[in-house]
Structure 1
Amino acid sequence: MMLVCQRFVSVVRNSRTLSRHVTTWSPVGAAFNAQQRKVDLFQKNVGLFGVPGLSTPAGFEVAQQRALRETEQLVETACNNPPGALTVETFDQLSDSLCKVADLADFVKVGHPDPAFRDAAEKACINIGTVVERLNTNVELCRSLKNLLDNKEVLDSLDPDTRHVQSSSSELFMFDFEISGIHLDESKRGKAVSLNVNLLDLNNEFLNGTHLPNRIEKTALPEHIRHCFSIDGNSIQIGGLHADSPDELVREAAYKIFLFPNSSLLLCLDDLLTCRNELAKLVGYESFAHRALNGTMAKTPETVMKFLELLTDKLSDRTAKDFNLMRDMKMKMNSRSTVLMPWDHSYFSSAVRAERYNIDPSLYSPYFSLGACMEGLNMLFSQLLGVSFQNEQPMAGEVWSEEVRKLAVVHETEGLLGYIYCDFFRRPDKPHQDCHFTIQGGRLKKDGEYQHPVVVLMLSLPPPTRSTPTLLNPGMMENLFHEMGHAMHSMLGRTRYQHVTGTRCSTDFAEVPSILMEFFATDYRVVNQFARHYQTGQPLPKSMVSRLCESKRICGAADTQLQVFYAALDQVYHGKPQNRSTTDILKKMQEKFYGLPYVPNTVSA
């Protein structure tokens, strides 16, 4: 870490030599500031992510059958060979074989625009997930691993590095067995598998339901705000909160309609929580929260709740001050409305920052073209880590949308590290969420070659036009840096086993690289190197960056308190069963941990 910091200081001192004019975008910057070159339709279809066979939805069935055949062979190898160095290698190869199908399918089921691909991928996820749950309760497979951990002679015969890696990885695999109920008798193990398989279905049903918009008759809304939403015949679809709309009526309508309880989805949530609790109790935990926190720094739900309550107490004065600032701003902008509501939080916290520090996103966006931001990331990684991005033209059938960009991540001495597929732009049926998907984990193969990690970054940015590149506001820019932190974690976490590669690390550490990237995104020494006007090439003035950084201190306590509320709600939902509805629990937790009133007939945002 010290070496990286020293290198950063050296880079900053010489940053003046790194500035370029707008006419000299790097290949990476140019690739993201222009519309994607069309794929050659006469090329052979290489399949999604270059996987042969995934040129059609039917390829998922072929891929999962191949993975299941490999699984049978590897299970036999693990169970029939004496404990040794091969044991953990076989377990990781087994995990890799299943994950190559499951992880890829996990993305395709939500990210592919073709319903046939999504359906085929979802079936593959469920089928592979079922196999994984059965393997996690396979006594013979568990015994082969336990024999290795219990055999001191075999472990001592390994070189120190191998012994450490093998022991650590074996313990993680053993942990998976234990939380899945390997210690139970045969009938209860079967019950655990059934519950886990049911959870796969319930998870899919619930997540799919949360992405669906709510509909309302067009006549139910005032005519002057109807154009703000998607109109479909005589009805209006509302698929988000419209939290940044300057019209309070638009924000209020979106909040109340989008979060209006869906009875079937609430039943699904009840079933999901009941099933999770039943599984946790079956395998020996007080609640699902106890099971989920086992192996983390917090260890128990009691510790988590104590922390959240302490944090709420410490933040209370600052949170109240923040809400008062927002309330005053609301009264100033609309004197008829005096009560601060949940749909006001995002809008008026931004308004307070804008007024106090003259922060107008429209003034910043021209300096944060997507190409400039990607160029900034490229420069940062090159200077700190000797790693650069190289834009590659996808082959026919390799990507699911012609707007997806493919980046090769290359180290200055070690060569290719992996691939990042950038699915950045909005399109119909695409989830409105920013996230990182692992498609293939890195691992050291038997032949000594390293299996390159492959990931997808999914954002929801406006696409470029013929005359204007995609322009990011400061929040979008920070979020891009955050998500790229996850992607680079996957690229740089070059572990021996894919079971622990990249973001498959300890949960306590998973967000550290992405949070670190947020600090770079608001440091003038970094921003100065890439933020320049997409038309004139002028750099972003230092005063504007300083104001942006200072503004983050405003309403920060209220923003943090909102996250505390979400965390506390999650703990109670997954704690010991309550004799109340999930909506009643939500109301009580919002009143205790948030500070803004609960709105009747709404569920959590």
Structure 2
Amino acid sequence: MLQFGRSTVSAALQHYCHHKLVSTWSPLATAFNAPPGKRINFTREDVGLFHMPELRTFDGFYLLRDNVEHKTQELIAEAISNKRRRKIVDIFDELSDSLCKVADLAEFIRIAHPKNKYMQAAEEACISICGVVESLNTHKPLYQALSKVVEQGDILPTSEVDRHVAKLFLFDFEQCGIHLPEEERLRVVRLNDYILQLGQKFMNGASQPTTLHRRQVPESIRNYFPTSGDNVIITGLCTNAENVQMREAAHRLYLQPLDSQEELLKDLLLCRHELARSCGFETYAHRALNASTMERPELVREFIDELSDQLRPRAEADFTLMTKMKRKESGQPNALAEIWDTPYFTTQLKRQSLEAQANEFLPYFSLGGCMEGLDNLLQSLYGVRLENTEMEPGESWASDIYKLAVVHENEGLLGYIYCDFFERIGKPNQDCHFTIQGGKRLPGGGYQLPIVVVMLGLAQPRWTGPTLLSPSRVDNLFHEMGHAMHSMLARTEFQHVTGTRCSTDFAEVPSVLMEYFASDPRVLRTFARHFQTHQPISEDMLRRLCASKHLFAASETQLQVFYSALDQEYHGEGAGKGRNTTEILKDVQNRYYGLPYVENTAWQLRFSHLVGYGAKYYSYLISKTIASWIWQTYFEANPFNRQAGEKYRSEILAHGGAVPSRKLVANFLQREMTPSILAHSLIHEIDTDESKIKELIVSKI
């Protein structure tokens, strides 16, 4: 039940508001607007984490590990048998499913469980499963059985999906070099291990503060930063500092070149290039893009170049506006917008020209209200509702977890979403989505229900009222629930390709598309209500809020183009030449970004995404572009269009990665995915949004 502040309202008014809330909020909203109660177990044993009886205690991980190791041996024997009675892809998917059920669960518990014994047991299970996978990657008879089927066909009838998934399994195998002569295979194994070590060291170095002796820092800016003895410590970029000297100083000092980081990055890129060449690919980018939506780096480069050309004049207009703002604020008629100014003036424009203070919107976006809005949207589009479900003792890893049953009006239960939404000590400070169990068709005709976790870092509800979300938090909630619904709405034959288990440059499309719904006034009107008075958000606030999300879209997109181009350049043809990475950065920035390179800085040495997204950083741009295209084609006219929602589910979401994503998108949009068409779609959106906000900002700047 909701609770309220006691400020100055009379007891009678509190009583009235109390009853109004109870009768107005849906049961789902009411549940999420109050913290889940702690479950006290008087009557029965704990059911175990995620309702798994093995995990009533932490040592159940050892039983799970032993069981999956035994199951693995059985499936290997079946796969290589001359008397095999199942399709090879069915056996491989069961093998993958068995390993993923333990590995994915253990990986989540390792980082999310508050008790050390569970974390340690889960980590040991992760290590054990990694050992099993490594042994599979060197199992020649298993590889040969799969390779023979891919090359010659199975002894049993197979579908197009069967053959596609079998090829994906084979590619996973060959990434470890099993198809190579033994000496070359061992070299690939060593390269993979070394790349992992280099990546970990680079990421650690990327997050370290810059420490300089006070003599190296001009006295005029020394006091901007903390000190330790004779050292000045710069912990990051002060992007929102009002003092322009502080912003500039932080940029120049924090991003100073560091020889150790430069050597790590050069070695990482060189080893990746050698690995790709050893596995038969022209460059690491070609290897990374295999089976992706864009398929090969040449198409990525065409898209980047096409988008860059069209963005240039639009981004220049953004920088001109920022320069105008800077001159007005500083009183210096010759001041120019610099690279350290862009985040600051984006924030300033939201505040000054749109009067969009985040605190102004908070009361209208209670967590329960947002969940009710999501529920209404999902019912409109797919006939799906979210039901808050009471958990049994021991089922969750913390006392403040919600469990949602996802129920279709005709198909029944589709799966479960566990909502780990609130901050707690030791919990990772990152919004993310975890697959605990993937969906798949079962031999008897049933379906293995997907189980996922959505993790956010929201403030705990207080006695004064529910958790309130800023507009950016609302976007994040819709984004992560987009991932979750991708898993829930998929209905694939194989768990290896269910839901988000698809190519990196397609996995973000459903989640980014959900952000479009979260930014549409028609959707926001259905749930943006004051958590106490239930007054709907005003049309003026709604107009300003939606417009604020599109400020400087051209320059922000140009920055993403620059990052993507740099990532492609690092992993392209010149990767094996050992050229200084800052020299490459200068060249790429001059070609793709509207603000100049700052001498004696090395921003790329802080860019940790180079490790996790090597040659795939463009995925954000492509996912955004495809989501925009889908939105414009199917939902912009009516975001509650049931016919469009059903079509989107059946032709996109239902397939996961079982059908090549390029083919999925082309069929759904009835048009070939050329770089030119993709770029045009995003430019059209930027131009449309620009016209919406122009009236609001002209009178303010």
SS at match of 2:420: strand
The equivalent of 2:492 in structure 1 is 495
| Cα offset, 1:61, TM superposition | 4.4
Whether 1:284 aligns to 2:283 is: no
Instruction: Name the stretch that deviates more: 386-395 or 489-498.
Output: 386-395
The equivalent of 1:145 in structure 2 is 146
Q: Give the partner amino acid of 1:39.
A: R
1:354, 1:216 → 2: CA distance? 34
1:447, 1:29 → 2: CA distance? 38
SS at match of 1:357: coil
SS at match of 1:530: coil
Whether 1:35 aligns to 2:35 is: yes
2:210, 2:460 → 1: CA distance? 26
| Cα offset, 1:354, TM superposition | 3.9
- CA separation of 1:405 and 1:326: change in aligned 2, threshold 3 A: farther
2:581, 2:273 → 1: CA distance? 14
Whether 1:317 aligns to 2:316 is: no
| Cα offset, 1:537, TM superposition | 0.4
Matches within 5 A, 1:395-406: 395-406=392-403
Query: CA contact under 8 A between 1:442 and 1:494: conserved in structure 2?
Result: yes
Q: Give the partner amino acid of 1:66.
A: N
Q: Percent identity over the alignment?
A: 48
2:433, 2:502 → 1: CA distance? 14
| Cα offset, 1:559, TM superposition | 1.1
SS at match of 2:576: coil
- CA separation of 1:66 and 1:581: change in aligned 2, threshold 3 A: farther
The equivalent of 2:355 in structure 1 is 358
Q: Give the partner amino acid of 1:537.
A: H
Query: CA contact under 8 A between 1:206 and 1:265: conserved in structure 2?
Result: yes
2:577, 2:126 → 1: CA distance? 32
| Cα offset, 1:349, TM superposition | 1.5
Q: Give the partner amino acid of 1:91.
A: F
Q: Give 2:413's match in structure 1, choosing from 385, 396, 416.
A: 416
Q: Give the partner amino acid of 2:144.
A: R
1:262, 1:423 → 2: CA distance? 39
Q: Give 1:187's match in structure 2, choosing from 170, 183, 186.
A: 183
| Cα offset, 1:215, TM superposition | 8.3
Deviations 1:70-127 (A, max 9, x none): 1111111111144654422111000111111222233344444556655554554444
Q: Give 2:404's match in structure 1, choosing from 407, 417, 429.
A: 407
- CA separation of 1:280 and 1:51: change in aligned 2, threshold 3 A: farther
1:534, 1:26 → 2: CA distance? 13
1:277, 1:572 → 2: CA distance? 12
SS at match of 1:413: coil
1:266, 1:172 → 2: CA distance? 35
SS at match of 1:459: strand
2:490, 2:289 → 1: CA distance? 24
Query: CA contact under 8 A between 2:364 and 2:537: conserved in structure 1?
Result: yes
The equivalent of 2:136 in structure 1 is 135
| Cα offset, 1:560, TM superposition | 0.6
Q: Give the partner amino acid of 2:371.
A: M
Q: Give the partner amino acid of 2:108.
A: F
The equivalent of 1:437 in structure 2 is 434
2:398, 2:56 → 1: CA distance? 13
1:465, 1:61 → 2: CA distance? 39
1:435, 1:429 → 2: CA distance? 16
The equivalent of 2:561 in structure 1 is 564
1:285, 1:27 → 2: CA distance? 55
| Cα offset, 1:377, TM superposition | 0.4
| Cα offset, 1:153, TM superposition | 8.1
2:202, 2:456 → 1: CA distance? 21
Q: Give the partner amino acid of 2:437.
A: Q
Deviations 1:27-61 (A, max 9, x none): 22122222232232667454443344446665544
- CA separation of 1:533 and 1:259: change in aligned 2, threshold 3 A: farther
Deviations 1:156-186 (A, max 9, x none): xx4xxx6233223222223323444343123
1:237, 1:39 → 2: CA distance? 46
Q: Give the partner amino acid of 1:405.
A: Y
SS at match of 2:434: strand
The equivalent of 1:326 in structure 2 is 322
Query: CA contact under 8 A between 1:493 and 1:501: conserved in structure 2?
Result: yes
| Cα offset, 1:196, TM superposition | 3.3
Instruction: Name the stretch that deviates more: 591-600 or 242-251.
Output: 242-251
| Cα offset, 1:508, TM superposition | 4.2
Query: CA contact under 8 A between 1:491 and 1:502: conserved in structure 2?
Result: yes
1:176, 1:265 → 2: CA distance? 30
| Cα offset, 1:224, TM superposition | 9.2
2:405, 2:83 → 1: CA distance? 41
SS at match of 1:421: strand
| Cα offset, 1:65, TM superposition | 3.3
SS at match of 1:416: strand
Matches within 5 A, 1:20-169: 22-23=21-22, 24-40=24-40, 44-54=45-55, 58-82=59-83, 85-113=86-114, 117-118=118-119, 120-149=121-150, 154-155=155-156, 158=157, 163-169=159-165
2:379, 2:233 → 1: CA distance? 45
Deviations 1:429-454 (A, max 9, x none): 44443222222111122343322212
The equivalent of 1:10 in structure 2 is none
Q: Give the partner amino acid of 2:533.
A: T
SS at match of 1:577: helix
1:579, 1:420 → 2: CA distance? 47
Deviations 1:565-599 (A, max 9, x none): 22122222323234234455445444443334555
The equivalent of 1:554 in structure 2 is 551
Instruction: Name the stretch that deviates more: 501-510 or 392-401.
Output: 392-401
| Cα offset, 1:485, TM superposition | 0.9
The equivalent of 2:579 in structure 1 is 580
Runs (5+) with no aligned partner, structure 1: 1-19
TM-score (norm 1): 0.83
- CA separation of 1:234 and 1:552: change in aligned 2, threshold 3 A: same
| Cα offset, 1:526, TM superposition | 1.4
Aligned residues: 577
2:230, 2:437 → 1: CA distance? 45
Instruction: Name the stretch that deviates more: 455-464 or 91-100.
Output: 455-464
Query: CA contact under 8 A between 1:242 and 1:250: conserved in structure 2?
Result: yes
- CA separation of 1:591 and 1:37: change in aligned 2, threshold 3 A: farther
Query: CA contact under 8 A between 1:33 and 1:470: conserved in structure 2?
Result: yes
1:233, 1:105 → 2: CA distance? 44
2:466, 2:427 → 1: CA distance? 21
Q: Give the partner amino acid of 1:388.
A: R
| Cα offset, 1:502, TM superposition | 0.3
1:466, 1:236 → 2: CA distance? 43
1:29, 1:528 → 2: CA distance? 16
1:508, 1:598 → 2: CA distance? 28
- CA separation of 1:476 and 1:344: change in aligned 2, threshold 3 A: farther
The equivalent of 1:382 in structure 2 is 379
SS at match of 2:280: coil
The equivalent of 2:346 in structure 1 is 349
The equivalent of 2:646 in structure 1 is none
Deviations 1:534-573 (A, max 9, x none): 1210111233323333344431001111211221222223
Q: Give the partner amino acid of 1:68.
A: E
1:445, 1:46 → 2: CA distance? 24
| Cα offset, 1:288, TM superposition | 1.4
The equivalent of 1:469 in structure 2 is 466
2:231, 2:400 → 1: CA distance? 31
Instruction: Name the stretch that deviates more: 340-349 or 358-367.
Output: 340-349
- CA separation of 1:208 and 1:398: change in aligned 2, threshold 3 A: farther
The equivalent of 2:300 in structure 1 is 304
SS at match of 2:500: helix
SS at match of 1:509: helix
Query: CA contact under 8 A between 1:442 and 1:498: conserved in structure 2?
Result: yes
1:249, 1:28 → 2: CA distance? 49
